[in-house]
Structure 1
Amino acid sequence: MTRIEIDAAERRAEARGLHTALLEIREDMARRANLRFDQWRGHILRPEFHGSARNLADYLAFRRGDLAPFQPRLTALGLSSMSRAEAHVRPSLDAVLAALALIGEETSAQERVIDFPPTEIFAAGPARLKARRDALFGACGENGTRIMVTLPAQAVETDLTPQIIAAGADCLRIDCGVDTPEIWEALAAEAAGRKIQFDLVGPEIRILDVQIDAPRLHQGGLFYISKSLTVGKARRKLRAPEVTLTYREVFASLTAGAEIRIENGKLRALVVEVEDDRVLCEVQMLRPKGMRLKPGRRVTLPRADLEIPAVTQHDLEALPIAMRHADIIGFGFVQTRDDVGTLIKAMEIEAKVINRADLPAIMLRIETPKALQNLPELIVAAGGRVPVGVMIARADLADEFGFERLSEIQDELLWLCDAAEVPVVWAPQVLEGMLGDGLVLQSETADAALGQRAECVMLEKGPHILGTVKYLRALLTRLDRYQTKHSPRLGALGLWQETQQGSTS
């Protein structure tokens, strides 16, 4: 045999081996995906979400094992490595199997040879995702990634809102965690004509009370977290300052060695002693200037399994206004399918009161380990009833998992939501420095550029909001030429084009 014939025989053998292995993976994927979808089927009342849920089930089953060893072998045969199959899992695998059968000249088991799927099926999932993006955030021109801007209270008495829209904002956000119901109503009136998201706060854990004479803490310092502030003579026996939290339910998670973070991790401490009504904490990490514990400072308990209702009384009081104006309800601290059911039930009750025929979409804000673990179930529970989106609460996830894991978590969230055909919001703290002082850093630009992989990027409030919106819009528009979701677009290079006279020497 010639060298060419030997190479061809080796390629056929490699293709047949890959075909056998991937066919087994496909059969296992189909079995597992069908079982999962059967469990979901009863929760899906919107027929238009069935295909999305089925593809999500395929994706979860397909990615349960390590597929990396197959990728270079497929690439060497000129085939898809399956690295961008999220939007069409089963058709992508079937196309690879059909091509392998041709290359391997599979004839011994024709019943195991899969035909190429119709080409139009590969466009269906991305088309549904784009339509859902437009339905949630607005169909505003050809720009791929939308921009959502949080309206500040001063927009009520100024012409700031139309300026924000003119600068490039596609949709607007009202934060029900600040200001008053009167301001929310006024901001909604200002935002009329654009898609509006009303964000419910959820049960934010914050410092509630602090001893009046509590000193500034430093590295190695001690403080108590108590169920209630100690009074009288007992207070003099305490070895450290004392604080209480907004939710006493967290005490079940304050065991020895538990980590506590305050103000987005600026202070990090560990529980070193546990008593009946209080725990003693030791500061492990803090800037040299220290920190004074004040009421309202945000507290997180990384990796703690917190049993706190996601819908608070404050949320229920904000819901009537949100239901009158919102296209999207932002759902903070959602963690379980029951949480989703609670919110939808409250929305349905309020919809009857105000005679609203449809329910707003739900934006699932993923900010805890439990929410991350349950995300497929949350998506199906919400998407089976109403339009749904996912907000990657990156600051909260960084608090929970550390910055070293944030990148991988963001990527897996984006992949999962692509498979479910669910729009994603990239938030928060995008271009935070520019919002505050008008100056942009290289690191902030690189972070904002990553948001182009999502359907929407959210900007928070800041004195330089107009310049920041313009900058982000220009950035996203340029990136649209080079990238679609996770896939590079191979347009002509702009920097090294030959001149009409030919390349220079």
Structure 2
Amino acid sequence: MKTSMTSRLANMQQQLAELIEQMDGARTNLSGSLPGKHQSLTNFLQYLCVRDVDLRPLQDDLQAVGLSSLGRSELAIHGSMKASHAWLLKFTDNDFDPLNAIESVDDELKQGKALLDDHTEKLLGPKRGDRRPRIMVTIPSDAHQDQELITQLMDGGMELARINCGHGSIEDQFKTALEVKHLARKKDLDIKVMCDLSGPKIRTRSLGQGPGVFKLKTTKDAYGHVLTPARVHLVSYPLVNHSEPCLPVCGQLSSLNDGDVLHFRDLRGRKRRAVVEVFEDHRFIKSYRNAYLGNVTRLHRGHDLVLAVSHLEPWEIQHRIHQGELFSLCLSMNDYHGEHFCIEANFEAFWDTLAVGDPVVFDDGRLATVVHDKDEISGFVVLKVLRAPSKGFVMKGDRGINFPDQSPQLAALTADDQETIDLLHGVADIFAFSFIKHAQDVRELRQFLNSRQLDQSKGVVLKIETKQAINHLPSIIIEGLKLDQLGIMIARGDLAVEVGFSRLSELQEEILTLARAAHVPVIWATQVLESLAKSGLPSRGDVSDVSRGERADCIMLNQGDFILDALQMTHDVCCRMAGHQRQNTTLMRELAIVKDRHLDSYQHGSERLNWT
């Protein structure tokens, strides 16, 4: 038994010695000046060396003799392995003193943690209270009209506000960012604003707009008896963010008296009546039957026309698609002559390589289709629905589209993104870049920011959401380290569609670990506590997801009617989990990610990194 253990110890010593030798060879001479990043880059390259092999048997052996399994060593991989190697030498040589190696790893771990904390605070701002991860909340682009919401989010613990630049007008986005900064100063808070750029996102175009419709809706019991009538406030102009339903009308509003009966035909041609109620100077109508009103609806008192519905906002036309159906996706509706329902999209870059049998996915995977046919002349493909919600999928404009098997060369920084940066850089602290694929994308982003003299003053978050970004993640991180303030977002919506939902769990762990090895803060994003934010009731899976996200440096919440509840629960779960975990132990199998071919020149020193 003693001989067997001696052999195992010697084998572990040899494995660790070989790994340490590989890490020593990965040290890179940096040209130019890179304050604060040399140690991060060195540790990252060394970590990549050890993750290129399967270390799980070695981890088991180290644990068996009471040593660290190295599962939490990404912040200081070299020192951790040297300390384990020193203890193994002590086991076989009583005269060997491991103290120097132990002190060394203690210093490296402290430095690694300090670097991550420093990079996190510089990018994401100071944390509030005892909760470790920051909380970022997506706010509507027109939230400047709702100061109360912004104030409540700040009071609830929000440290960062995210504005999705793919929705709303640039004017609203600017005003909202400005309002966040204004309210934060009044509260003496450092609230960061992150503007999330759209990037080369492929989306459906609008199906058009239908005429405005207002529905008078009663509530009924299970037998169809009316419990409460439809009641609506009559106003002479549309009211924004009003707490009760308002129907804009024109006419003799002030002439209405309490108890007056108004007659009208709704949009379906059905006869309806409503009774006027007067409260102070306000007029209301109530109806015991459902009705649909439009801008053509006229309301009569007796034989006299007294009111006309007006200023109803048009609604976007939608189309419901079910499983097994066929529908078309086209480049231009002007050229479409097919027999199926069709919607237009900006997928020109995918057209040449798109073929029958290729998957096409909509709205973060909610609708899964496959190319059934392709009309090269008219420029459309016929899609067959493989998976859709049981009640059908509502197709409309601005639905995101993914082509998982396609990888066209699209610029990560679009002309619209450049314009957004130029207009919002005065109010934004961070810009998030979408659909990064290669280190070259990051290089171009850095060059653009440098041309605007923003590369040192603005934070940059790289969203990892494509297959290509996963395959080139190490070189993307290395290029990103040249930025003054860098963060990584695990954008799990598009990423799950691109790589498959079954792979998402392992990949989010790998991204988190590799970013930590480079001392880069990570944002855990997409559908966190979505059930609670939208419906008011969390799912068990949502709560578990928050507990996993607590290991990241920031958790991002999307907007919803119950966002304040979601914010409170995120805070509570993170605080509770802080007493149970400080990064989970990682099993160190070999990672396909680290086989990025673009790393060879960095690791073997054949190319010097130019940081200027």
- Normalising to structure 2: TM-score of the pair? 0.71
Q: 1:149 aligns with which of 137, 153, 156?
A: 137
Q: 1:76 aligns with which of 58, 64, 78?
A: 64
Match of 1:396 in 2: 494
- Cα separation, partners in 2 of 1:480 and 1:66, compared to 1, 3 Å: same
The whole-number CA distance in structure 1 between the counterparts of 2:34 and 2:145 is 37
Deviation at 1:216, TM superposition (A): 4.6
Count residues in correspondence: 464
Q: 1:246 aligns with which of 332, 336, 346?
A: 346
Q: 1:328 aligns with which of 430, 448, 456?
A: 430
Higher normalized contact order (CA 8 Å, seq sep 6+, divided by chain length): 2
Question: Residue 85 in 1 paired to residue 103 in 2?
Answer: no
Deviation at 1:271, TM superposition (A): 1.9
Amino acid paired to 1:258:
D
Amino acid paired to 1:122:
L
| 1:314-359 alpha-carbon deviations (Å, 9 max, x no partner) | 21221123311222111111212222222223323333xxxx6933
The whole-number CA distance in structure 2 between the counterparts of 1:216 and 1:437 is 22
| 1:454-489 alpha-carbon deviations (Å, 9 max, x no partner) | 00001111222222212211211111122123369x
| 1:168-195 alpha-carbon deviations (Å, 9 max, x no partner) | 1122222211222222222222222412
Deviation at 1:453, TM superposition (A): 0.5
Match of 1:199 in 2: 196
The whole-number CA distance in structure 1 between the counterparts of 2:427 and 2:579 is 35
Amino acid paired to 1:160:
L
Q: 1:454 aligns with which of 515, 535, 552?
A: 552
Question: Residue 21 in 1 paired to residue 22 in 2?
Answer: no
Amino acid paired to 2:474:
P
Alignment of 1:363-378 (within 5 A): 363-378=461-476
Q: Contact 2:528–2:546 at 8 Å: present in 1 too?
A: yes
Match of 2:332 in 1: 228
| 1:263-315 alpha-carbon deviations (Å, 9 max, x no partner) | 22122111233442333322222234333543322111114213211112221
The higher radius of gyration belongs to 2
The whole-number CA distance in structure 2 between the counterparts of 1:178 and 1:206 is 12
Alignment of 1:23-422 (within 5 A): 23-31=17-25, 33-34=26-27, 37=28, 41=30, 45-105=33-93, 115-116=101-102, 118=104, 119-140=106-127, 141-152=129-140, 153-192=142-181, 193-208=190-205, 216-229=320-333, 231=335, 235=337, 238-276=338-376, 277-351=379-453, 358-422=456-520
Amino acid paired to 2:434:
G
Deviation at 1:90, TM superposition (A): 0.9
Q: Contact 2:60–2:69 at 8 Å: present in 1 too?
A: yes
The whole-number CA distance in structure 2 between the counterparts of 1:392 and 1:227 is 31
Q: Contact 1:208–1:243 at 8 Å: present in 2 too?
A: yes
The whole-number CA distance in structure 2 between the counterparts of 1:251 and 1:318 is 28
The whole-number CA distance in structure 2 between the counterparts of 1:151 and 1:124 is 36
The whole-number CA distance in structure 1 between the counterparts of 2:170 and 2:321 is 36
Q: Contact 1:91–1:117 at 8 Å: present in 2 too?
A: no
Using the TM superposition, name which of 427-436 and 204-213 deviates more: 204-213
The whole-number CA distance in structure 2 between the counterparts of 1:378 and 1:442 is 35
Using the TM superposition, name which of 61-70 and 301-310 deviates more: 301-310
Match of 2:526 in 1: 428
Corresponding residue SS for 1:162: helix
- Cα separation, partners in 2 of 1:190 and 1:217, compared to 1, 3 Å: closer
The whole-number CA distance in structure 2 between the counterparts of 1:304 and 1:106 is 60
Corresponding residue SS for 1:165: helix
Corresponding residue SS for 2:205: strand
- Cα separation, partners in 2 of 1:316 and 1:167, compared to 1, 3 Å: same
CA RMSD of aligned residues (A): 2.7
Q: Contact 1:260–1:300 at 8 Å: present in 2 too?
A: yes
The whole-number CA distance in structure 1 between the counterparts of 2:447 and 2:21 is 39
The whole-number CA distance in structure 1 between the counterparts of 2:405 and 2:510 is 18
| 1:77-107 alpha-carbon deviations (Å, 9 max, x no partner) | 1111111111111111111111111112299
Deviation at 1:226, TM superposition (A): 3.1
The whole-number CA distance in structure 2 between the counterparts of 1:208 and 1:300 is 15
Amino acid paired to 2:177:
A
| 1:422-445 alpha-carbon deviations (Å, 9 max, x no partner) | 000010111111111222222111
Corresponding residue SS for 1:126: helix
Corresponding residue SS for 1:376: helix
The whole-number CA distance in structure 2 between the counterparts of 1:370 and 1:117 is 40
| 1:341-391 alpha-carbon deviations (Å, 9 max, x no partner) | 22223323333xxxx693311100111111111222222222213210001
- Which ranges of structure 2 fall in alignment gaps of 5 or more residues? 182-189, 210-316, 587-612
Corresponding residue SS for 1:324: coil
Corresponding residue SS for 1:92: helix
The whole-number CA distance in structure 2 between the counterparts of 1:45 and 1:239 is 63
Q: 2:581 aligns with which of 483, 493, 505?
A: 483
Using the TM superposition, name which of 60-69 and 466-475 deviates more: 466-475
Deviation at 1:45, TM superposition (A): 5.0
The whole-number CA distance in structure 1 between the counterparts of 2:544 and 2:441 is 35
The whole-number CA distance in structure 2 between the counterparts of 1:357 and 1:331 is 14
- Cα separation, partners in 2 of 1:106 and 1:222, compared to 1, 3 Å: farther
- Cα separation, partners in 2 of 1:45 and 1:433, compared to 1, 3 Å: farther
The whole-number CA distance in structure 1 between the counterparts of 2:94 and 2:52 is 28
Deviation at 1:70, TM superposition (A): 1.3
Corresponding residue SS for 2:76: helix
The whole-number CA distance in structure 2 between the counterparts of 1:216 and 1:143 is 43
The whole-number CA distance in structure 2 between the counterparts of 1:318 and 1:435 is 28
Corresponding residue SS for 1:47: coil
- Cα separation, partners in 2 of 1:467 and 1:243, compared to 1, 3 Å: closer
- Which ranges of structure 1 fall in alignment gaps of 5 or more residues? 1-5, 489-505
- Normalising to structure 1: TM-score of the pair? 0.85
- Cα separation, partners in 2 of 1:251 and 1:106, compared to 1, 3 Å: farther
Q: Contact 2:133–2:554 at 8 Å: present in 1 too?
A: yes
